[in-house]
Amino acid sequence: MTDGPLIVQSDKTLLLEVDHADAAECRKAIAPFAELERAPEHIHTYRLTPLGLWNARAAGHDAEQVVDTLLRYSRYPVPHALLIDVAETMSRYGRLQVSNHPVHGLVLQAIDPAVLEEVLRSKKVSPLLGARLDETTVAVHPSERGHLKQALVKLGWPAEDVAGYVDGERHLIGLKAEDWQPRPYQTEAAEGFWHGGSGVVVLPCGSGKTIVGALAMALAQATTLILVTNTVAARQWRDELLRRTTLTADEIGEYSGARKEIRPVTIATYQVMTTKRQGIYPHLEVFDSRDWGLIIYDEVHLLPAPIFRFTADIQSRRRLGLTATLVREDGRESDVFSLIGPKRYDAPWKDIENQGYIAPADCIEVRVTLPDGDRMTYAMAEPEDRYRLSASAPEKIRITEEIVKRHADERVLVIGQYLDQLAELGEHLDAPVITGATPVRERERLFESFRPSG
């Protein structure tokens, strides 16, 4: 035992004492493999998951490093079964590889023949494969590259994809050197993605993920499709690319509800891409409209399901996901891992805050109690309904009003998930509510009011 800042529990949760002298050092050490779940004032809760450990393995960390980190910082003895589980889980990544064979094309290769035998018995995997070539190699239908990786992750045998990518249509994209320089972590993130081939960059809000996208485009030197959450984000991307790169306005197209432009760099919204007509998604054809060399998924934690389905079919294209969190409310983190790629770079927000690049933030968790009448409803509800019940607890309205009153002379932004709850809050606070139905100009006006003056 040590006087470390970490408590490692048998259910794979890690409790970090924030006020401990070694807390910052420990946070940095566990960040590559542990997922932050809650961050109230004094104790931050992390969790070890297979995806988190596989992401770490893909980034070059091995089980020995993870185990050593847990033992070094843990205040109490680490459960031996947990250490064995960490080593076994991480060893599963890369024992299968998707690669290009000089004669047979796309193949699935296994380091261990027994692993290949196991996955071949799966009814979901076998239809995606072709002929058995030898004891450790089986052909893969090229169109099933993404679907195969999805299926293998669900089986617990994530394949390392080293089959490479097509270059796509070449398009010169330079960086403007005057008046700005990329921050060191932005350059590291773009290079980490490029050397990995495809994958996800995780950076906190306000840290300049758009700049990482621009740097990746300059590395690719190819036509680029950028998928964003809404029209406001599309215009922000366009402005940033015009400011930071040599791209001209004529080279950047917007594909949204208002415009349908296909240019060497095209920025499309998730909303228009997932518009369904007569049972089909006609705008998904944008993926095939050019020989894209790079596809960027902004806010990948919000990626709609139809985009996942199409992404499975374009595994020969380089793909970059940008996000502040890998946690998805629909639980499809494994699809991000298998279809976009593993995490290639992750900078904890505290590190970037300490470097002075983002404003300091204090995170305070305020807990409320469900009314007695709702507690039984919650106890009897299905798991997918419990989140809604707890998120919509009536006491949250009163607490939010009280917090806003304490900051009466400051700019306050209240973020929520459910429109009816936000509408009720808007009435109580006499504040405007921004939703998907809010006109773009009104959104831009309201967002502009939150920009620091000067």
Separation of alpha carbons 311 and 324, rounded Å? 21
Q: pLDDT value at position 454? A: 40
Model confidence pLDDT, tens digit, residues 6-45: 999 999 999 999 899 999 899 889 988 998 887 777 889 9
Say how many C-beta atoms besides its own lie within 10 A of residue 351's C-beta. 16
Of the candidates 91, 119, 140, which is a domain's last residue? 91
* 258 in any annotated domain: yes
**Average pLDDT, stretch 282-294?**
90
Separation of alpha carbons 422 and 224, rounded Å? 36
Closest CA to 220 of 290, 296, 294: 294
Tell me, yes or no, whether 425 and 304 share the same domain.
Answer: no
Of the candidates 35, 56, 91, which is a domain's last residue? 91
**Average pLDDT, stretch 284-294?**
91
Select the more confidently predicted residue: 136 or 42: 136
Tell me, yes or no, whether 281 and 421 share the same domain.
Answer: no
Q: What is the CATH number of the domain that holds 294?
A: 3.40.50.300
Residue 39, φ and ψ in degrees, nearest 5: -135, 65
What is the DSSP annotation of 54-112?
A: HHHHHTT--HHHHHHHHHHHBSSPPPHHHHHHHHHHHHTTTSEEEEEETTTEEEEEESS
Tell me, yes or no, whether 257 and 273 share the same domain.
Answer: yes
Tell me, yes or no, whether 205 and 153 share the same domain.
Answer: no
* 174 in any annotated domain: no
Separation of alpha carbons 24 and 350, rounded Å? 8
Tell me, yes or no, whether 202 and 344 share the same domain.
Answer: yes
Give yes or no for a contact between 1 and 32, defined as CB atoms under 8 angstroms apart: no
Tell me, yes or no, whether 192 and 278 share the same domain.
Answer: yes
* 178 in any annotated domain: no
Tell me, yes or no, whether 309 and 402 share the same domain.
Answer: no
Task: Quote the domain boundaries for residue 304.
Answer: 184-354
Helix (H) / strand (E) element for 134: namely strand 129-134
Residue 436, φ and ψ in degrees, nearest 5: -60, -20
**Average pLDDT, stretch 111-125?**
93
Model confidence pLDDT, tens digit, residues 306-326: 899 889 989 999 999 999 988
Model confidence pLDDT, tens digit, residues 81-108: 999 999 999 999 999 999 999 999 999 9
* 367 in any annotated domain: no
Lowest mean pLDDT among 197-206, 298-307, 429-438: 429-438
Closest CA to 67 of 2, 345, 77: 77
Separation of alpha carbons 305 and 419, rounded Å? 21
- Indicate the average pLDDT of the chain: 90
* 332 in any annotated domain: yes
Tell me, yes or no, whether 326 and 205 share the same domain.
Answer: yes
* 366 in any annotated domain: no
* 323 in any annotated domain: yes
**Average pLDDT, stretch 171-185?**
90
Of the candidates 161, 176, 211, which is a domain's last residue? 161
Select the more confidently predicted residue: 293 or 371: 293
Separation of alpha carbons 6 and 12, rounded Å? 12
Tell me, yes or no, whether 385 and 419 share the same domain.
Answer: yes
Q: pLDDT value at position 39? A: 76
Percent of all residues in the chain with a pLDDT value above 90, rounded to a whole number: 64
CB neighbour class for 248 (10 Å; exposed up to 12, middle 13-18, buried from 19)? exposed
Tell me, yes or no, whether 328 and 385 share the same domain.
Answer: no
Tell me, yes or no, whether 397 and 434 share the same domain.
Answer: yes
* 172 in any annotated domain: no
Number of domains making up the chain: 4
Tell me, yes or no, whether 190 and 335 share the same domain.
Answer: yes
Separation of alpha carbons 323 and 216, rounded Å? 15
Full-model pTM: 0.85
Residue 284: pLDDT band by 50, 70, 90 thresholds? Answer: confident
Residue 450: pLDDT band by 50, 70, 90 thresholds? Answer: low
